[in-house]
Chains A and B, each alone.
Chain A
């Protein structure tokens, strides 16, 4: 910080053309906004099908949700990027994966007719197609900090985890991973997997800052101290906590 050289974080946005529903781009807007406010430049690189990832370049990875057909297209391509992504995760790159993208980081997605859509096995989770779509506003509590997170879920896949990962949050309202065990999302190294749209990050500035902080720490940098005026964020968050549907 002493030499005033501008800090830059590199973000890889995976498949924005195909996985682009439920306002997931709002997460990138939130990261960019809160980086810019602190004088950090967030460089966003889009990675589409068939394009290579320069694995060691990126500090943050983002993958969102998509519709079934698009998700299948992505699944095949993601397998070819498997080793790059796994080594990025091993080197503590921060990864935010939402809904369909979250499912693809796991072992597989098994459809009702028993077919398996292979995931990249970056985290120890698997997903089974469910009968009922889980739709609605979600309130949950992050396991490590106790902070409340709000979002909107819309998925029929039920995700379960193995021993190597821990859940991201405890569900207060809503279904979460599978509607059964009361947990939402996963946390493994610096990977955050979740079903929450909303967009997730704008109304949860705590989580946005956590992602930026982890990305900086990995580079041996500290989060520049700055108080951002979060008045609108906080009210929007509080109001979302009161929604009961």
Chain B
């Protein structure tokens, strides 16, 4: 009977996927799986995986999609049969859709590697249903607190997911204390940065309260405040507890130095005492972390994938929907960078304001997928834009909240161009540019979906 319900659910999902695709009814990446799960709650449990199949989960607040894509690309370059879920489809419904699409009509999946970008809160639901071999965790930042409650709850959900299976191997960001010391007896590998750059006190002592948004600074063991020797990105860094002497774990994978130009990151990776150089056409410290997490995962899950495979996959990497995506509008260059939380947005601003002739458009929505609460805008360091001389275009459902945020970051009211219609705002922005300038469009998630629907951003979900 169970088997029958499973096959019925599977075929329903397959037929739905097909129909959505044929009639171009929209995004096929969640709905079929949602229906299958509503027909059979433990739908995912019934798939038959190859005996040596490895299931790898990538979770954390920022960088999941990029890391997943890096990892999948490298495995594919090394000729491994690999599947992964598309960015955004990271709830059970998205994973169920992926499984339904990739399985044959009997529910057998014949791939060697299944990479699952997984929403933090979904992890325990996922480990209930399928056997996971590896979990890579990127970082934990405040993100949509209105949906998940507080960060302390998020780490507990992750621990709950992991602690169902002692055999899961963990690949953890050592620079994030809460992740490095998450409560679990499982085998752990650590990755982290050992580079020179550090942003501690970059803001001067008078305005400490205006510093970068930061999360956890208390010791995971004794709760006292951690001391950081270096911070590379928000609260990610090299730390020690002055009271109980807890320190950042020894690194199995580390980046020892890096340099960057306008389009490319070059870095050296040290593991097992061997140093190798890599480069990728992306910028920002956040992408340095994403590349590092991906390499740590690749080397753990597939030791025979070589540095040559990895470098080749980095070179062929095409950016994901909205994560540093290049588009051309009326012969002018634009890039789209998704913003969704204080740390991610602050890092994007820091990276982009360094680029000459940069122009900005910011689009803020407050739909469910963006988070209903726009308070987070006040934790973003928009003051980084205060020396910007040109107009800044703001749009989206909460355009006025964004405009107000800029005004209180000492950006002159005259410079702020408000239009809650996204397309009109974008047209005005492009019209105002000269040919040397580059427009950086910073949308929240559903604003990005709108750009996609209008054919401006890539149609990743339909591929």
Contact = CB atoms under 8 A, between A and B. Distances in A.
Nearest to B394: A232
Nearest to A27: B378
A198 B398 CA distance: 12
Interface in B197-245: 207-210, 213-214, 216-218, 223, 225
A69 B403 CA distance: 33
Contacts of B142: 21
B150 to A, nearest CB: 4
A236 B400 contact: yes
Interface stretch (A12-20, A89-97, A186-194): A12-20
A29 B378 contact: yes
Interface in B367-384: 372-379
B210 A199 contact: no
A29 B214 contact: no
Contacts of B400: 232, 235-236, 239
Contacts of B145: 21-22, 154
B209 A16 contact: yes
Contacts of B128: none
A25 B403 contact: no
B401 interface: yes
B102 interface: no
A21 to B, nearest CB: 6
Contacts of A231: 413
Given A23-B376, A137-B372, A17 B413 contact: no
A111 interface: no
B185 interface: no
Interface string A215-245: 0000000000000010111011001100101
A44 interface: yes
A190 B405 CA distance: 27
B404 A203 contact: yes
A152 B373 contact: yes
A68 B153 CA distance: 10
Interface in A158-184: none
Nearest to A239: B400
Contacts of A29: 378, 408-409
A17 B214 contact: yes
A7 B456 CA distance: 51
Contacts of B375: 22-24, 26, 152, 197-199
Contacts of A137: 372
Nearest to A203: B404
A170 to B, nearest CB: 22
B261 interface: no
| Most chain A C-beta atoms within 10 Å of own C-beta, residue among B149, B213, B372, B373 | B373
| Most chain A C-beta atoms within 10 Å of own C-beta, residue among B146, B151, B217, B418 | B146
B372 A20 contact: no
A44 B209 contact: yes
A136 B375 CA distance: 12
B213 A22 contact: no
Contacts of B403: 232, 236
A192 to B, nearest CB: 18
A243 B210 CA distance: 29
Contacts of A49: 225
A125 to B, nearest CB: 22
A73 B223 contact: yes
Interface of A: 13, 16-18, 20-26, 28-30, 33, 44, 46, 49, 67-70, 73, 133, 135-137, 152, 154, 197-199, 202-203, 229, 231-233, 235-236, 239-240, 243, 245
28 contacts: A17-B217, A20-B379, A22-B145, A22-B379, A23-B377, A26-B405, A29-B408, A44-B207, A44-B209, A46-B209, A67-B150, A68-B150, A68-B152, A69-B216, A69-B218, A73-B225, A136-B146, A137-B372, A152-B146, A198-B374, A198-B375, A202-B404, A229-B413, A231-B413, A232-B400, A232-B403, A232-B413, A235-B400
Given A152-B375, A243-B366, 4 more contacts: A24-B378, A25-B209, A67-B151, A135-B373
